Amino acid sequence: MKSLLSLLSTALLLLACSQTPQPSLYQQLGEEAGITAITDQLLYRIEHDPLIVNHFRDTDIPRFRHLLIEQLCELSGGPCVYSGATMEESHTGLNLNTRDFDRLVNHLISAMQQQGIPYGTQNQLLALLAPMYPEVIGR
C-alpha cells in the first residue's frame, strides 16, 4: 500500500513538473480570436437549450456577446477592460437558478472542448468563473 501511495505521489509530481513555463491564460485561450469563438459557441448552445434560452428573452444579445468577450479577455489576463455592470447587476432579472448555472458551465466546457482548449486550460478559466456563482444565482 505504501509503495502504491508513493507511486501515486511521484506521478503527481511528474505531472506538476512536466509543465514548462506557461503562456498566460489569455494566450492559451487563443487570445481575442479564440475567446470570440468560445463565446459564439457558448451563445449558440444557450440559444439551442430550451431550458435556459427563456432567461435571455429580453437580453440585447450583441451587447451581451461584446461584454462577455470583454470580460473573458480581462479575466484571463488579456488587454481588455470589462465595461459592463457588476455580476450582481447584470444578472438581476435573469432569475437564474443552480440548474441554469450548471447548464451554462456544461455549455462553456463544450464550447472550449470544441475549440480544442486543453483540459488544464479549461479548468483555469472555470476556476475564475466558479466563484461568481453566488453573484449570479437567484437575482
Partner 1 sequence: MNKTVIWLLLALLALPVHAASRVLATGGATTIEGSAGGGIVPWAVINGYGSNEEWSLQAFGSWVGVDDFTLHSTGIGLSVDNRWELSYARQQFKLDSIGGQLRQDIVGVKYRLAGQLLYTNLPQISLGLHYKRHLDFELPSLVGARSRSGVDAYVAASKVWLDAIAGRNLLLNGTIRATQANQTGLLGFGNTENQRHQLMFEGSAALLLTHHLAVGVEFKQKPNRLAFADEQHWRDLFVAWFVNPNLSVTAAYVDLGSIAGLPSQQGWYLALEGSW
**Binding-site ranges for partner 1 (CB under 8 A):** 1, 4-5, 8, 12, 15-16, 18-19, 51, 97-99, 101-103, 105-106, 109, 118-121, 123-124, 126-127, 130-131, 133-134
Supply the DSSP string of 98-123, one letter for each residue: HHHHHHHHHHHHHHHHHTT--HHHHH
- List Cβ neighbours of 138 (8 Å cut-off, separation of 6 or more): 95, 96, 97
Minimum CB separation of residue 66 from partner 1 in Å reads 26
Task: Give whichever of 11 and 33 is closer to partner 1, judged by the CB atom.
Answer: 11
Task: Give whichever of 85 and 130 is closer to partner 1, judged by the CB atom.
Answer: 130
Instruction: Please state, in angstroms and rounded to a whole number, the distance separating the CA atoms of residues 43 and 91.
Output: 16
Task: Give whichever of 7 and 83 is closer to partner 1, judged by the CB atom.
Answer: 7
